[in-house]
Amino acid sequence: MFKKILIANRGEIALRVICACREMGIKTVAVFSEADEHSLHVRFADEAVCIGPARSAESYLHVPAIISAAEITGADAIHPGYGFLSESAYLAEVCEACHIKFIGPSPAVIRLMGEKSRARRAMKKAGVVTLPGSDGPVETEEEARTIAAALGFPVIIKASNGGGGRGMRIVRNADELSQALRTAQREAQAAFGIGDVYLEKYLEAPRHIEMQILGDEHGNVVHLGERECSVQRRHQKLIEEAPSAVISEKQRAALGTMVVEAARAVGYSSAGTFEFLMDAQDNLYFIEANTRLQVEHGVTELITGIDIVKEQIRVASGAVLSFTQDEVTFSGHAIECRINAENPVTFAPSPGRVDAFSLPGGPGIRVDTFVHAEATVPPNYDSLIAKIMSYGRTREEAIARMRRALEMTVIEGIHTSVPMHLKILAEVDFQQARISTAFMDRFLPPSPAA
Ligand code: ADP
């Protein structure tokens, strides 16, 4: 087992990894930017190294600084969390060269899944049903026209190397196609450094369903069931739950078997998520795989009792998965609300100093956060400040607990998305699980682009 793990991240996920390491008796090294000097992840890690200024490119995304910090402190592994360098095949390769274990899949698997159009092809080959679309990057207008005609409008143009809900453009008719293709290629180049884009059939108001998997380095892969993340704003998840109210046990087993086989086919180890969209006829189509821990992994932990981060660390050290598929059982229902530092009406970021802070406990509530009274939320990073999770024997109980927890949440000094979550949970459609990626439209002014 590892003796010391460096956490190449910040915020709640850095603390989440520290929790796992403490329980496993592993020492931790925090890295931090100048904006995070007083953060809790710095306080609770055994050692901490400042790796640069507030700007992510010069700190949390700066591979040489992170590797130097690992070498100076003698860390034998790096946990990348989510976001930042978590899906960087380059960091995984540098780690390999420096004999530091990267806690994630192999660089080859990260690279394959990171190029979404290639991942689609590989998954199709491995027997996974993908959303109809192009078989690789689309370069010319002519190609795009032929494919779009075959798919039928609307279609969506997506950046091959995109992520975080960015780099997507919906095209509703042939007249818009050439302009949209050129713009999408330009935007992809600017945002992700690679201009490749591909085409997919655009589904109106689908449900987002994803499967959590875990694999070890000995060819064992299991699934931990699905999560539903249909409540989104601009393709970014706001509320996640497990299980999905619309997936039957039979569907879960079938989807699970399909992703486990596909993961095995590409030599997948560590935690991963296969994302699907469900159409109005309940068909599920693969859209992408994420080769890292997800923000929403906690809801799966609540219904399976499995600590995904500890298991991720165990398998990275070469251990065999500590359970088999038959030993994975599901019980109850869990919901997560992402609490962002933002205006609940306009969604504008709301960084700053927190004056008062009290988060609820009580039966069935888990809170993962880096915020405390008098903490400062820097303007430089993602606006996620806390994840409130609720657990109940039924979906109704989980909702009731979440509503009570949100009502008892006190965060002053900055705006948060708590009031917005309360509005969502009060909707009958949400309560009756009539949700889709279009659910949030009722609260939002029409968005100008995709
Ligand atoms: P990212 O990697 O940026 O998160 P994804 O491919 O996972 O991108 O898609 C994120 C979200 O965008 C989905 O959950 C869904 O809401 C929307 N989306 C993506 N592809 C499609 C599609 N073909 N049809 C309809 N919605 C889509």
How far, in Å, is the centroid of ligand 1 from the Cα of 158? Answer: 9
Residues 79 and 197 in one domain: no
Token pair for residue 227? 């999560």
* CATH value at residue 74: 3.40.50.20
Kindly list the distances between the CA atom of residue 104 and the CA atoms of 217, 318, 376, 405, in Å, as whole numbers in the listed order: 11, 12, 31, 33
| Mutate which of 201, 277, 291, 444 for ligand 1 pocket (most atoms within 8 A of beta carbon) | 277
Q: Per 3-state DSSP, what percentage of the chain is helix, strand, and coil (rounded to 5)?
A: 35, 25, 40
Residues 291 and 213 in one domain: yes
Token pair for residue 288? 């992408």
Please say if the pLDDT value at position 434 is more than 50. Answer: yes
User: Which residue, by CA, sits nearest to atom 9 of ligand 1?
Assistant: 165
- Does residue 287 lie in a domain region? yes
* Catalytic choice (10, 111, 292, 395): 292
Count Cβ atoms below 10 Å from residue 68 Cβ, excluding itself: 15
**What one-character DSSP code corresponds to residue 254?**
H
Q: Which atom of ligand 1 is nearest to the CA of 204?
A: 25
- Does residue 109 lie in a domain region? no
- Does residue 299 lie in a domain region? yes
Host H or E run for residue 77: strand 77-79
Q: Please state, rounded to an integer, the average pLDDT across all residues of the chain.
A: 96
Residues 193 and 271 in one domain: no
Count Cβ atoms below 10 Å from residue 79 Cβ, excluding itself: 31
Residues 12 and 157 in one domain: no
Q: What is the pLDDT of residues 247-274, one digit of tens each?
A: 999 999 999 999 999 999 999 999 999 9
Count Cβ atoms below 10 Å from residue 264 Cβ, excluding itself: 15
More confident position, 374 or 150: 150
Residues 185 and 219 in one domain: no
Cα 11 to Cα 115: distance, rounded to the nearest angstrom: 27
User: Which residue, by CA, sits nearest to atom 16 of ligand 1?
Assistant: 235
* pLDDT bucket at 132, cuts 50 / 70 / 90: very high
Residues 177 and 237 in one domain: no
User: Which residue, by CA, sits nearest to atom 23 of ligand 1?
Assistant: 202
How far, in Å, is the centroid of ligand 1 from the Cα of 443? Answer: 20
How far, in Å, is the centroid of ligand 1 from the Cα of 275? Answer: 9
Q: Which residues line ligand 1 (CB under 6 A)?
A: 131, 156, 162-166, 200-203, 206, 208, 232, 235, 275, 277, 287-288, 437
Q: Which atom of ligand 1 is nearest to the CA of 237?
A: 14
Q: How confident is the model at residue 163, as a pLDDT?
A: 85
Mean predicted confidence (pLDDT) in 420-440: 98
- Does residue 291 lie in a domain region? yes
Residues 139 and 14 in one domain: no
* CATH value at residue 292: 3.30.470.20
How far, in Å, is the centroid of ligand 1 from the Cα of 165? Answer: 7
User: Domain residues for 15?
Assistant: 4-103
How far, in Å, is the centroid of ligand 1 from the Cα of 325? Answer: 29
Residues 20 and 62 in one domain: yes
Residues 282 and 390 in one domain: yes
| Mutate which of 287, 288, 295 for ligand 1 pocket (most atoms within 8 A of beta carbon) | 287
Residues 336 and 244 in one domain: yes
As beta bridge partners, residue 384 has: 340
Host H or E run for residue 299: helix 297-304
Please say if the pLDDT value at position 208 is more than 70. Answer: yes
Q: How confident is the model at residue 319, as a pLDDT?
A: 98
User: Which residue, by CA, sits nearest to atom 2 of ligand 1?
Assistant: 163
Cα 200 to Cα 82: distance, rounded to the nearest angstrom: 26
Q: Which atom of ligand 1 is nearest to the CA of 162?
A: 3
Mean predicted confidence (pLDDT) in 26-43: 97
Concerning whether 353 is annotated as a catalytic residue, the answer is: no
**What one-character DSSP code corresponds to residue 133?**
B
| Mutate which of 155, 161, 235, 286 for ligand 1 pocket (most atoms within 8 A of beta carbon) | 235
As beta bridge partners, residue 33 has: 52
Q: How confident is the model at residue 175, as a pLDDT?
A: 95
How far, in Å, is the centroid of ligand 1 from the Cα of 246? Answer: 19
Closest by CA to 84, choosing from 14, 188, 169, 176, is: 14
37 and 50 Cβ atoms separated by less than 8 Å: yes
Cα 116 to Cα 209: distance, rounded to the nearest angstrom: 17
Residues 301 and 433 in one domain: yes
Q: What is the pLDDT of residues 320-379, one digit of tens each?
A: 999 999 999 999 999 999 999 999 888 999 999 999 999 999 999 999 999 999 899 999
Residues 153 and 250 in one domain: no
Q: How confident is the model at residue 450, as a pLDDT?
A: 47
